[in-house]
Amino acid sequence: MNKAEMRSAILEAREKNGTTWDAIAAAAGLSAEYTCSACLGMNHLDKDAADAVVRLLGLDESVSLALQRYPHKHWDQAVPTDPVIYRWYEMLNVYGETIKELIHEKFGDGIMSAIDLTMNLDRQVDPNGDRVRVVISGKFLPYKTW
């Protein structure tokens, strides 16, 4: 089973069973954000976590094996057309250079790691309309001089 087939099997089982990402993450012993990413094919799980996800969703060993394989990350479109994902591109287009400038000012010449990263997504109740609260924390990696 490849990652695309795995993703489809997981999403179908999740919908059929009415299982939440929080419940899947609890079974895996990981955050909902990381577990969801792995189930969508963008990260991997170790054997114990993969087996727990498969048991919870009633799937077979081929899904567990696919969850354990390291992904090949790629994007099929330059800018995705899904409105939620597109807005992230819009935010980076508007604020990306600002973020870069502020990182350089506060840390020096380097980057924020997407490998050593944590993310938390929550609902923030607001009388003017609920808000999506996303906190991303990435390790700063300075460029080396030689």
Residue 145 pLDDT greater than 90, yes or no: no
| Mean pLDDT over the full length of the chain | 94
Residues 6+ apart with CB under 8 A from 89: 79, 80
Catalytic residue among 5, 12, 61, 90: 90
pLDDT digits (tens, 9 = 90+) for 57-90: 999 999 999 999 999 887 777 888 889 989 999 9
Q: Are 1 and 62 in contact (CB under 8 A)?
A: yes
pLDDT digits (tens, 9 = 90+) for 123-133: 999 999 999 99
Catalytic residue among 113, 131, 133, 137: 113
Rounded Cα gap, residues 40 and 75, in angstroms:
13
pLDDT band at 19 (very low <50, low <70, confident <90, very high): very high
* CATH 2.40.30.10 is the classification of domain 3-68: no
Q: pTM (2 decimals)?
A: 0.83
Domain parsing of the chain, residue ranges: 3-68, 76-108, 109-146
Q: Is 90 a catalytic residue?
A: yes
Q: Are 1 and 9 in contact (CB under 8 A)?
A: yes
Hey, which CATH number is domain 109-146, 3.30.1160.10, 3.10.450.240, 3.30.460.20, 3.40.50.10190? 3.30.1160.10
pLDDT digits (tens, 9 = 90+) for 34-61: 999 999 999 999 999 999 999 999 999 9
Q: Which residue has the higher pLDDT, 16 or 86?
A: 16
Rounded Cα gap, residues 103 and 98, in angstroms:
9
The rounded percent of the chain whose pLDDT value lies above 70 is 100
Q: Is 69 a catalytic residue?
A: no
DSSP state of 58: T
Q: Taking residues 25-33, what's their average pLDDT? A: 96
pLDDT of 142: 95
pLDDT band at 16 (very low <50, low <70, confident <90, very high): very high
Residues counted in the chain: 146
pLDDT of 10: 98
Report the half-sphere exposure of 126 (CA within 13 A, side-chain side): 9
Catalytic residue among 5, 8, 55, 87: 87
Helix or strand holding residue 30 (H, E): none
Q: Would the CATH topology of 3-68 be identical to that of 109-146?
A: no
